[in-house]
Structure 1
Amino acid sequence: MKKPVLIIAYYWPPAGGPGVQRWLKFATYLRQHNFDVTVVIPDNPDYPIIDQSLIDQVPEDIKYIKVPINEPSRWASSLSRKRTKKMQKGILPKSPGFLQKLMIWVRGNLFVPDARVGWKSSVLKAIHPYLLENIKPTIITTGPPHSVHLIGLDLKKKYIGFKWLADFRDPWTTIGYHKHLKIGNSAQKKHEKLEQEVLDNADLIIVTSPHTGKEFASKSKTPIQVITNGFDIQSNATTRQPDGDFTLSHVGTLLSDRNPNVLWETLSDLCKEDNSFKSDLQLQLAGNVSDEVLLSIQHYGLEKNLKQLGYLSHHEAVEVMFTSQCLLLIEINSEDTKAIIPGKIFEYFASSRPIIAIGPENADIDNLIQHTRSGQFFNYLEKQQLKKYITEKYKLYKKGNNEGQLNDHIFSYKRENLTKTLAKTIDYTWE
């Protein structure tokens, strides 16, 4: 008899972004491990990013419970659709106007833990029949939005006979963008109280990075399992250098706080020192890019080397990865971001193209890159080391030898292999 699993997730195709793919793939592969999977998703969501290509990856026979949601972003969009979409994507202006300041304050203080908190009551009502029909189900909530975890918390207070796994794709109260939401003391205390209740009442906590695991272990005695994100694409068939310019590509959102001036300055210096490098260099940015980042690139005289690709479908983004000379991975230079492991890093691994990563010292992404031997990590003070590495890659490129890396360490991050760990984790909670 198959074991019932109920996955409650706000983000689901056609929503775009790497966070969608985590549970889309887990839901797909769990069925190969004797699990009967049902997914709870919003019926009418207002997703900030749409990627229709992901719909083709959803199994035709997957079971759904679709629950209507009243999205505050639709009300806010009546005031300013463009500004609301930017805020949903995480692009917060450095100098917001009055209306933007008001929207940010409302988001941070009136919607705790987030603007989807109103969905909870509807989901609890909609899944009641499922709980009556299924014996010993495993319920998995995944956040952000962390309000989804409050559904699991309420279920723990009202029902018995099930196991609850809370999956944290990002930290909660220590996530970097909290400081930009102008959260008051009362709202902050509520965040911390809710986080503590979720950590203490879940049967098991799943996190995507070791740093988050250590943080939660210091707060709660609930068992914790680290299951990173991964990749499900066909890995690059070759590690050889692709044709074309010396292309450095960043795939994904590039916010103002993630603006790597040390990189732009390094590339500018190399262009000034070597006309050949300047002629060969192409800087590609795929995804949403803040105005501050574009102004910095212009300030360092790199605008003629820049190619803005805009938001790409998943298939198009993978093509960019496969055909780039090096891939850029940029994280905010903050203590809060050491735990962040961007989902795209795993598809970077699968692309077999060298990674140039910049982030805070002792970041988890540094360990991952070392483990997979897939590139080099630099903190924001290591300009000379960064310059030396890019120069080395450029010299290899000129010789046609800028090769990538594929190995067993990389393949351990295939979604299918990670699902085996998840299946064992679910079984563990019932022992």
Structure 2
Amino acid sequence: MVNILVIAGEYPPLKTIGRIRSAKFVQHWQNAGHNPVVLTLHYDKTEPHYEDSLQDEIPAGIKVYRVKNAKREDSLLNLIKSLRRSKAAKPKPEPSHSTNSNTAAKSANLSLKDRLINGYKSLFRHWLDIPDDFVVWAKDCLPQALELIKQHNIDVIYTSLPPFSACKLGYQLKQQTGLPWVVDYRDLWTGDVLREWIHPLRSRFETHLERKYVRHADVVVTVSQQKTDFVKALLNQPNQQYHTITNGYDPESFNYLAPSAKTNTALFNIVYCGRLFKNRKGYAFLHALGQLSMQQPQLTQQVNLHFYGDIAPEINAEYDKLIAQYQLQQQVIRHGDVSFEQAKQAQVDADMLLLIVDTGATSDGVIPGKLFEYIACNKPIFALSDATATNEILIQGKLGPVVSPDDIAGCTTALADILNNPLAPTSSNQSYLQQFERKAKAAAMAELFRQLANK
């Protein structure tokens, strides 16, 4: 048995895809006889991604300790708000100008205040919250983590990234205790496709921090070989251990769900589950559906495209334009944010699942956690992806067509082929996909822990 301190900022009941790796690893480690102890974030129930039912994902007997994230930007914002309330409470003199002028002045003042607050938030986000807005959380976790190490006789420290502030916490614990430390990159820190907004000057500073901290880790793990190669080259530590342990799936995770009865058996439901933001857009698929609806209406009139999850405002606006352009109002349904169970049921009810993968300079090593959730659902997948690591699994697994995210013509051809000859779930290569079962992935990580603990 190995006693593991699991430092994971994303953990149930937070409904993010990032929580699943840590939550499921903890479950499988416990089942294998190990003793994981979790240190995570204290989630307020007003948190947008909080879902109380996800408490059920935490196995009975697992000790979970939570620390609040007191964001630094909130202190000054709260002061501004309190001053505004105090000013509002004072009696106001009679206006000396017309009502219209006074209203215009108030609007201008409000706009200025809003701009100042937004500027203040931008300052924190871009230049003060480095590497992310979990800096205070990581600092406040340190004494709690040291206490847990003593209390639970911890053998190995495991930090799941992001949040990247957890990296400094792991480094400090390594320095103060000498215990083996494993860093697990769910996403890259330097070079991640979703962090391209960061200024080059800040990026250089963060690269310095990453090298400073992670070079002290005993083992570095990433979720794809491409990411392992990237981190290995970045850190340039010849004596450090590097391992690739992909995300995975539990074959039984959808067994309890039955498909809902169709009111129209001719309907062909295509389902996308997840967020759409930044470099994850999916415009080509809407173009493809729209062009087919104009060229071959008999092929698409029974097709419904469902989106489950938040869509960034700028992407939503472009979807509005495309839906209007191709008159797809009755066929494209945006359900917004739904519970995890509703999203799973939508996948079970789908005839095909749509996967949209982030694009960017370092997207080669991206393998979305959603891919493995889709695999567990055992439905055909239509993927918009340029990610080498993802495409290999899709092609070798015979899961469905793979098209470049901006290839409208390729999308149109592939979608027409699918609608003319729908794939059956049994067409996938199960013997290949079995290597991604999560129990085996958790066992591989636990074996690293055992080796480190016995050194």
Q: Return the TM-score normalized by structure 2.
A: 0.82
Q: Distance in 2 between matches of 1:61 and 1:410?
A: 31
Deviates more, 1:172-181 or 1:145-154: 172-181
Q: What is the DSSP-based 3-state SS (H/G/I as helix, E as strand, rest coil) of the residue aligned with 1:338?
A: helix
1:263 to 285, 290, 303: 285
Is 1:215 the counterpart of 2:230? The answer is: yes
Q: Distance in 2 between matches of 1:276 and 1:345?
A: 31
Is 1:246 the counterpart of 2:271? The answer is: no
Matches within 5 A, 1:401-412: 405=428, 407-412=430-435
Q: Distance in 1 between matches of 2:444 and 2:312?
A: 37
Q: CA deviation at 1:100?
A: 4.2
> Percent identity of the aligned residues?
20
Matches within 5 A, 1:31-430: 31-44=30-43, 47-72=47-72, 99-100=117-118, 102-133=120-151, 135=153, 137-160=155-178, 162-181=179-198, 183=199, 185=201, 187-219=202-234, 220-221=236-237, 222-232=240-250, 234=252, 243=265, 245-300=267-322, 301=326, 302-360=328-386, 362-380=387-405, 382-397=407-422, 405=428, 407-429=430-452, 430=454
Q: Which residue of 2 aligns with 1:93?
A: none
What is the letter of the counterpart of residue 354 of structure 1? P
Taking structure 1 as reference, are residues 29 and 207 closer, same or farther at Cα in structure 2, changes over 3 Å only?
same
1:44-78 deviation digits (Å, cap 9, x = unpaired): 55744122222112112111233333134756986
Q: CA deviation at 1:103?
A: 2.2
Contact 2:385 2:405 in 1 (8 A): yes
Q: Distance in 1 between matches of 2:254 and 2:60?
A: 27
User: Which structure 2 segments of 5+ residues have no match?
Assistant: 82-113
1:389-409 deviation digits (Å, cap 9, x = unpaired): 211211124xx9686536133
Q: Distance in 2 between matches of 1:77 and 1:403?
A: 56
User: Which structure 1 segments of 5+ residues have no match?
Assistant: 81-95
Taking structure 1 as reference, are residues 231 and 51 closer, same or farther at Cα in structure 2, changes over 3 Å only?
farther
Contact 2:167 2:214 in 1 (8 A): no
Q: Distance in 1 between matches of 2:428 and 2:73?
A: 43
Contact 2:14 2:43 in 1 (8 A): no
Is 1:11 the counterpart of 2:34? The answer is: no
What is the letter of the counterpart of residue 395 of structure 2? Q
Q: What is the DSSP-based 3-state SS (H/G/I as helix, E as strand, rest coil) of the residue aligned with 1:37?
A: strand
Q: CA deviation at 1:10?
A: 1.2
Q: CA deviation at 1:236?
A: 5.6
What is the letter of the counterpart of residue 35 of structure 2? D
Q: Distance in 2 between matches of 1:32 and 1:107?
A: 40
Q: CA deviation at 1:378?
A: 1.4
What is the letter of the counterpart of residue 133 of structure 2? A
- TM-align CA RMSD: 2.9
Rg larger in structure: 2
Q: Return the TM-score normalized by structure 1.
A: 0.86
Deviates more, 1:203-212 or 1:61-70: 61-70
Q: CA deviation at 1:184?
A: 6.0
Q: Distance in 1 between matches of 2:172 and 2:200?
A: 25
- The number of aligned residues is 409
